[in-house]
A and B are shown apart, each in its own frame.
Chain A
C-alpha cells in the first residue's frame, strides 16, 4: 500500500482527503462548528458524539466527546488557529483516552469550497498534519514542497523486505 503523503510548506507530513458533498459551504461550516449539529453527526462509524463545546475564534478551544462502540469515551480537543467563516478552519487536534492525553501535536485544516459547476455542491478538503514535538521539529528542514515519489519506491521495497526471509550471514 502506498502511503499518500504530500509535504506541506512547513515540511510536516500530511494526509489529504477530499469529498464533494451536496450542501452549501454555509451549511457544512455550521455543521462543523455548531455544538447542536456536532452532537447529531460528528464521528466515524460507530462513534457517537455525546458532548461538544466550541469557542469559534482564533485562540478559542473546542472539545468533543466521542463515545466508542465499547462504551468508552474518548475526548478530542484543541485550539482554533484560523477561522474564516464558511471557508476555512484550522485547529490543533489532541486525543485524550482513559485520562491520558497524547503527547504529540497534530493539526487539521478543513476547507469548504463551492463547486465551480454546481453551486449546490461543496468540496470539503481535510488536511491532517503531524506537527511533532519541539525536539523532532528541530530536525525538519524548510522550503521543500512536492510529492514523495521516492517514498513509493521505499514503501514497495519495504513490503518486499518484509516478505524476504532474513539472511543469516
Chain B
C-alpha cells in the first residue's frame, strides 16, 4: 500500500460490514447525495462542489471526508487546484448487499406462501 496520501482511495482493508455502513452513512445526507450527483456529471473542484449549498467551508470539508471514507471520492491536486472525482465502486458494494438482501426476503416470502397454501389445503373452509 502506497504511503502517499494524494490521489489515493480509502484503503479497503476494513471489515465488509463497516464498509457498507460507511457507504450507507455517506448516502444518508441530502447534501452528500447532491454532491455525488454533481460528481456523476464530471470532476469538480471543492469550490465548485460547495457553491450550490449555503453552508460553510468546514461543513463541505466534513461532507467530503465522509464521502472519501466511504470510498466515493478520488482527490487530485494540480498546482493549487484541489479536485474531486467520483469513484462509483461503493455503489457496486451496496448493490451486492441490496440484491442479496432482496433475494433473501423474496425467497423467504416464497416459503411463507407455500406454508399458507398448504394450510389452506388442510382446512379448505378457511
Contact = CB atoms under 8 A, between A and B. Distances in A.
Contact of B88 (A42, A124, A158): A158
A63 to B, nearest CB: 16
Contacts, number: 146
A150 B98 contact: no
Interface stretch (A14-22, A53-61, A77-85): A14-22
Main secondary structure, interface of B, reads: helix
B74 to A, nearest CB: 11
Chain B contact patch, size range:
35 or more
A70 interface: no
Given A151-B33, A155-B95, A158-B88, A141 B17 contact: no
Interface string B83-126: 00010110110110011011111111111111111011000001
Contacts of B17: 102-104
B91 A154 contact: yes
Contact of A158 (B89, B103, B110): B89
A136 B66 CA distance: 9
Contact of B25 (A21, A137, A158, A162): A137
A40 B115 contact: yes
B15 A154 contact: no
B36 interface: yes
Nearest to A44: B107
Given A21-B109, A22-B116, A22-B117, A12 B28 contact: yes
Contacts of A13: 24, 27-28, 94
B31 A28 contact: no
Interface of B: 15, 17-18, 20-22, 24-31, 33-34, 36-37, 40, 66, 86, 88-89, 91-92, 94-95, 98-99, 101-117, 119-120, 126
Interface of A: 1, 3-5, 7, 11-13, 15, 17, 19, 21-24, 27-28, 31-32, 37, 40-45, 102-104, 124, 126, 128, 130, 132-133, 136-137, 139-141, 144, 148, 150-151, 153-155, 157-158, 161-162
